[in-house]
């Protein structure tokens, strides 16, 4: 009680001092004689200083209030513990049982400095903000003449007299690593011939140039060529004839890919280039992804690239940027306070990256300069005017015609340097094509360059030749901002290439593989980290001779298969069916291999006596908790057979934070109890395993164990077969048949009550949340947070979109619905199954095409603060239908919603009424949310899907799409290979405590200052009315997302013998990482021999940006924040940090000197890579 009084007095004192200070300040403003004399027009600068002061004061008052409430909560919690009250109790139907009290009260204290970042306000406003551009444009699609989506371009002939036009024609060949053919088929049929011809033909004339981007293909070719040819390639790169652009493993999709995989494929490509050719890419080239994320420019900038190019942008935006000469800009991150993320970006102005759409505005003319289409070839010009070979007789006329296009295109840009790409998909695969293009163009160049009166200099160039010339022309160093060029923030989703053809279908197409992609990613990250730690410990103990170093080759292969799948026709779901199967086989092969890497590493790390370690590939020590029989099947959980001797489990937590999790295990007997490695009993819940709505799997039970798992560590658990009379903590189930006559197979050991009719509406609750459901549908209706009088309407429903009846229909790429969604109407009402138990309760609703399960965990910490939602979807009998899940709430979100980009950052969105429905869908790789001044509802996802908010308070996600026809974008197929797919989500409702910074007393202040004419006082939804729209998830949201995406992995010990070596839990971290730090990867680097690891690793850290205005009390994470400071030296228990070298993102460039200090600092949102040696 004494402590409580002290806290109260202290808090009251702080509040009084703050209010009194504010009073004095206001008093000075009102009685300032200078102000009266100047008739109220006192300097703006003083007003803004005063406004800043008041905002700071507000901030401090809020922080004081939060700190006091934290202290109060902690005192109450401590008091409760002292009085012996359990942290959580639950009384299931089968008797009472109490969860042991939480040993550490959760007290999350976020430093006030760490809250400043999300408030924004620093830095200059950009010239172009994409959300504002969208609001501005009419999207009227007027006919522009020969440039159909643009306008007529005119120029004066003497415009280049003072400064001649400098033209760089850049030959390229776009090679898709899988689309119509598989990766290997493309390689054997086309790519190897392109690269072989390239070596031959480039050497014929030193003026020739070529660029290449996909390292997946290039490395395969490299492995198959002679030393002599390799030397020739190095010469071509060395003398600037051949440029490797971007240098990633693939040209990734930017909508569905997650930033872990985007970075990983970039590292894989860059490391390959450095090792084999000794080259570092300087410019980015992305002509084919279907829309562009602002994450990519950030990653390229942090990899030390200085410029980049993009192409597939909405035609209305291209037209607008062309008209305002803003097609080249510095692309900046929305959250960047000081322009350190700026990268120069060139946007191509026309419809496509093919030759007809790259020389200038008139495709009919440009097509005549694609010399692959000369008469007699396999392809021709759709505009019916064929190219003509260039001769002395026609060169003057032909060159003039082409120059006119060059000049017109040049008028759309700010400099007198012009980029003209020359290529298309899989071009230059025959020597004849090299000759046709290069010889004819060289004749044109020679003519143009020999005529000074034309004021043009034309030549072949690489992408960097163009950017270098542009920078030279404006007189600054590459990478710096050229004077007069605009700064842009935002992204380029969603893409339309013509009419209302929005490419928003591919955000969901083939969701099965989008989900498998993320499972593989989580396993790769876990395997990388565990392998690195096991190897470091083995080397320290001089046991690396006995450790399977060869697992490195499996890691390397998995990196490349995950990288391959980031390709813009792979994760997008836009390849042929056979190609999708090929990707699936690769993903599954790598997933199986990674499980092996993880079990091998875990085996070594949990042994009490490492000398007993013996690796036997034929008889592994640990098995995995699930298997997938084929590339298109869902995982099947392994059943642990219980015997008289205990069965041991090793549980791996891939998160860098300790977690209290419910770990599910299947066993063959209900008579079980679970012990820790020290023999202490652990709480668990026993449930039946269901094979359908009404049938249980006989003799198989799920044991859900509550276990505290160390950060990045391994926990050892024991399963014992208990005597018949052992009191299991059983769940209890009610099954509502909704009037359907269905046979029910009852479980033997857990209570089941069957009701023939539907249930009344009912609720599930834990200490944090109450979730209420419709008895008839089994779907969520309402959510109420603890301590709130009234709940929020959060109702869920399934909907179906059809497709148009006109000629243009939805397909793999396009979403062309036939109007608004209609309610999903299954043949029969659902069977609803309600399970209640001590550790979790859940509602499962079985519909004809979807089975949805909503689970509420009844445990302390992060797991119990959100709803776990899963949808098992099977629409294989649908025809031209798309299934959506919509949440409708009473949140007044107006037209604004928020979606993530690549799991890295949040982009505010506005529902645009002037655009068709399909234009308002966006990618959701990790989360989307809606909010008003009081609440935020976040949908977190474990797989990328399309999302929108079509009216206030709504959030909807497309779960799967089955389409019977091609959508005329080259695929030549519909989407008919649907699988049974499990989509997993978390639904998180948070209270916004300081939402608009203007409640009560402060709103009066705000209105007073408005009356004084203060500029920039904002109300409403600040994130969107701001000139720099910016928003961040809360810390709880970040950590919930990590829990969803990195599940604990259970590995049963295979040996069932009574005598086992002693096993010890493995706790790798000596200290708790700050809450906002994420170990993105710890990746062993290659030795000289590709298949073996070196002594160095890449440690990649990300400091997340987060919003403090969402209530952060009692969150149950035992970490805090540290203003971006971290000591790496003592981080890994039992290991020393031998060296620490900060590098560029992909390790190509050292940043500064390697120092002895192991203290590092990261700004919010930044990703940093360190080359380290652990041992």
Residues classed as catalytic: 288
Q: Please name the helix (run of DSSP H) or strand (run of DSSP E) that holds residue 582, with its range, or none.
A: helix 577-606
Distance CA(941)–CA(720), nearest Å, equals 36
3-state secondary structure of 689: strand
The phi, psi pair for 795, rounded to 5°, reads -105, 140
Contact predicate 1167/302, CB 8 Å: yes
Distance CA(863)–CA(1048), nearest Å, equals 13
The phi, psi pair for 1064, rounded to 5°, reads -130, 140
Tokens 């992804």, residue located:
289
Tokens 């609703």, residue located:
845
Token couple for 273:
């280039």
Evaluate the CA torsion angle 1153, 271, 232, 174 in order and state its sign: negative
Distance CA(496)–CA(678), nearest Å, equals 61
Distance CA(512)–CA(685), nearest Å, equals 30
Q: What is the CA angle 133-138-141, rounded to 5?
A: 115
Q: Please name the helix (run of DSSP H) or strand (run of DSSP E) that holds residue 260, with its range, or none.
A: helix 259-276
Distance CA(457)–CA(442), nearest Å, equals 12
Tokens 């050292």, residue located:
1150
Contact predicate 63/115, CB 8 Å: yes
Distance CA(729)–CA(731), nearest Å, equals 7
Radius of gyration (C-alpha) of the chain in whole angstroms: 31
Sheet strands (E) in 850-920:
850-857, 867-873, 881-889, 896-901, 905-910
DSSP 1134-1151: T--EEEEEEE-TTSSSB-
DSSP 1065-1117: -B--BSSPPPTTEEEEEEEEEE-SSTTSEEEEEEEEEEEPP--TTB--SS---
Contact predicate 672/719, CB 8 Å: yes
Residue 912: other Cβ atoms inside 10 A: 14
Token couple for 336:
């960047």
Distance CA(527)–CA(544), nearest Å, equals 17
Instruction: List CB contacts of 1125: < 8 A, sequence separation 6 or more.
Output: 1159, 1160, 1161
Contact predicate 333/491, CB 8 Å: no
Q: Which of 325, 268, 425, 399 is nearest to 970 (CA)?
A: 425
DSSP 755-802: ESSPPPPEEEE-SSEEEEE-TTT--EEEEEETT-SS-EEEEEEEEEE-
Token couple for 969:
């974008």
Contact predicate 887/937, CB 8 Å: yes
Distance CA(613)–CA(624), nearest Å, equals 19
Distance CA(813)–CA(573), nearest Å, equals 8
| Maximum separation of any 2 CA atoms in the chain, in Å | 103
Distance CA(648)–CA(642), nearest Å, equals 10
Contact predicate 810/500, CB 8 Å: no
Distance CA(488)–CA(334), nearest Å, equals 9
Contact predicate 478/468, CB 8 Å: yes
């Amino acid at each position: 009680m004494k402590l409580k009084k002290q806290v109260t007095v202290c808090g009251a004192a702080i509040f009084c001092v703050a209010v009194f200070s504010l009073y004095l300040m206001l008093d000075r403003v009102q009685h300032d004689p200078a102000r009266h004399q100047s008739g109220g027009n006192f300097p703006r600068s003083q007003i803004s200083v005063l406004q800043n002061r008041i905002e700071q004061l507000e901030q401090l008052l809020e922080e004081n209030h939060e700190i006091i409430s934290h202290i109060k909560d902690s005192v109450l919690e401590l008091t409760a513990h002292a009085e012996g009250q359990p942290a959580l109790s639950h009384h299931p139907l089968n008797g009472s049982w109490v969860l042991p009290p939480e040993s550490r009260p959760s007290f999350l204290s976020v430093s006030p400095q760490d809250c400043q970042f999300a408030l924004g306000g620093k830095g200059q406003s950009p010239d172009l903000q994409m959300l504002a551009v969208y609001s501005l444009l009419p999207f009227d699609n007027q006919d522009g003449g020969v440039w159909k989506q643009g306008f007529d371009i005119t120029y004066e002939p003497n415009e280049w007299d003072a400064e001649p036009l400098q033209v760089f024609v850049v030959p390229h060949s776009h090679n898709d690593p899988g689309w119509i053919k598989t990766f290997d088929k493309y390689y054997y049929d086309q790519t190897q011939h392109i690269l072989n011809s390239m070596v031959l033909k480039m050497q014929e004339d030193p003026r020739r140039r070529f660029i290449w981007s996909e390292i997946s293909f290039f490395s395969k070719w490299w492995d198959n060529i002679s030393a002599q040819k390799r030397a020739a390639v190095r010469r071509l790169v060395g003398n600037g004839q051949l440029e490797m652009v971007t240098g990633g493993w693939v040209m990734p999709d930017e909508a569905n890919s997650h930033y872990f995989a985007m970075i990983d494929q970039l590292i894989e490509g860059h490391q390959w280039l450095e090792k084999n050719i000794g080259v570092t890419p300087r410019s980015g080239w992305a002509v084919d992804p279907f829309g562009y994320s602002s994450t990519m420019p950030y990653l390229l900038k942090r990899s030390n690239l200085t410029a980049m190019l993009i192409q597939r942008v909405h035609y209305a935006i291209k037209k607008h940027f062309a008209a305002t000469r803003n097609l080249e800009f510095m692309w900046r991150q929305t959250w960047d306070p000081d322009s350190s993320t700026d990268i120069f970006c060139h946007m191509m102005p026309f419809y496509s990256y093919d030759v007809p759409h790259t020389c200038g505005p008139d495709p009919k003319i440009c097509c005549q300069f694609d010399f692959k289409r000369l008469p007699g070839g396999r392809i021709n010009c759709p505009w019916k005017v064929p190219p003509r070979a260039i001769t002395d007789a026609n060169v003057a006329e032909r060159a003039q015609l082409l120059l006119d296009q060059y000049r017109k295109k040049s008028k759309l840009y700010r400099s007198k340097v012009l980029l003209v790409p020359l290529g298309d998909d899989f071009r230059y695969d025959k020597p004849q094509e090299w000759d046709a293009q290069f010889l004819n163009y060289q004749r044109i160049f020679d003519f143009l360059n020999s005529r000074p009166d034309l004021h043009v200099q034309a030549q072949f160039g690489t992408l960097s030749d163009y950017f270098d010339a542009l920078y030279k022309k404006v007189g600054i160093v590459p990478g710096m901002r050229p004077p007069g060029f605009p700064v842009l923030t935002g992204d380029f989703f969603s893409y339309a290439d013509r009419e209302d053809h929005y490419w928003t279908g591919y955000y969901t197409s083939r969701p099965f593989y989008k989900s498998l992609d993320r499972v593989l990613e989580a396993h790769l990250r876990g395997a990388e980290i565990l392998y690195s730690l096991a190897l470091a410990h083995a080397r320290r103990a001089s046991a690396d001779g006995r450790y399977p170093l060869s697992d490195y080759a499996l890691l390397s292969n998995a990196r490349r298969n995950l990288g391959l799948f980031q390709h813009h026709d792979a994760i997008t779901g836009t390849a042929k069916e056979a190609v999708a199967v090929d990707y699936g086989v690769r993903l599954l092969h790598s997933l199986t291999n990674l499980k092996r890497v993880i079990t091998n590493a875990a085996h070594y790390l949990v042994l009490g006596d490492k000398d007993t370690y013996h690796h036997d590939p034929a008889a592994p020590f640990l098995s995995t908790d699930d298997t997938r029989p084929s590339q298109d099947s869902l995982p099947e959980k392994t059943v642990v057979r219980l015997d008289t001797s205990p069965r041991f489990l090793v549980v791996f937590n891939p998160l860098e934070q300790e977690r209290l999790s419910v770990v599910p295990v299947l066993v063959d007997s209900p008579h079980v109890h679970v012990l820790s490695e020290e023999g202490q009993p652990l709480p668990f819940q026993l449930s039946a395993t269901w094979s359908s709505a009404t049938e249980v799997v006989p003799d198989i039970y799920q044991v859900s164990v509550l276990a505290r798992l160390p950060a990045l560590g391994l926990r050892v658990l024991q399963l014992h077969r208990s005597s018949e009379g052992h009191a299991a903590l059983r769940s209890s189930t009610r099954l509502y048949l909704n009037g359907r006559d269905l046979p029910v197979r009852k479980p033997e050991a857990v209570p089941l009550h069957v009701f023939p009719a539907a249930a009344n509406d009912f609720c599930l609750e834990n200490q944090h949340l109450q979730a209420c459901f419709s008895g008839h549908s089994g779907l969520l209706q309402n959510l109420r947070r603890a301590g709130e009088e009234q709940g929020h309407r959060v109702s869920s429903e399934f909907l179906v979109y059809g497709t148009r009846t006109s000629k243009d229909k939805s397909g793999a790429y396009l979403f062309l619905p036939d109007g608004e969604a209609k309610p999903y109407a299954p043949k029969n009402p659902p069977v609803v199954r309600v399970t209640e138990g001590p550790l979790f309760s859940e509602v499962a609703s079985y519909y004809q095409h979807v089975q949805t399960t909503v689970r509420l965990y009844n445990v302390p910490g992060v797991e119990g603060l959100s709803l776990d939602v899963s949808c098992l979807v099977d629409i294989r009998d649908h025809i031209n239908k798309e299934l959506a899940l919509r949440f409708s709430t009473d949140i007044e979100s107006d037209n604004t919603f928020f979606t993530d980009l690549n799991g890295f950052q949040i982009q505010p969105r506005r529902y645009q009424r002037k655009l068709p429905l399909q234009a308002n869908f966006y990618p959701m790789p990790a989360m989307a949310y809606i909010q008003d001044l009081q609440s935020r509802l976040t949908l977190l996802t474990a797989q990328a899907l399309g999302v929108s908010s079509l009216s206030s308070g709504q959030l909807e996600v497309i779960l799967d799409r089955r389409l019977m026809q091609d959508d005329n974008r080259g695929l030549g197929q519909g989407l008919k290979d649907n699988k049974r797919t499990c989509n997993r989500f978390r639904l998180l409702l948070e209270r916004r405590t300081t939402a608009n910074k203007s409640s009560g007393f402060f709103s009066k202040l705000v209105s007073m200052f408005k009356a004084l004419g203060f500029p920039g006082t904002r109300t409403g939804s600040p994130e969107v009315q701001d000139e720099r729209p910016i928003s961040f998830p809360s810390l709880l949201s970040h950590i919930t997302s990590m829990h969803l995406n990195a599940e604990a992995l259970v590995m049963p010990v295979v040996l069932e013998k009574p005598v086992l070596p002693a096993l010890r839990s493995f706790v790798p971290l000596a200290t708790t990482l700050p809450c906002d730090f994420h170990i993105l990867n710890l990746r062993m680097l290659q030795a000289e021999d590709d298949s073996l690891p070196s002594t160095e690793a890449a440690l990649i850290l990300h400091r997340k940006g987060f919003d403090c205005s969402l209530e952060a009390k009692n969150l149950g994470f035992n970490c805090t924040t540290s203003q971006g400071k971290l000591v790496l030296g003592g981080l890994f228990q039992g290991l020393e940090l031998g060296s620490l070298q900060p590098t560029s993102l992909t390790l190509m460039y050292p940043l500064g000197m390697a120092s002895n200090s192991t203290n590092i600092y990261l700004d919010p949102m930044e990703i940093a890579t360190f080359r380290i040696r652990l041992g």
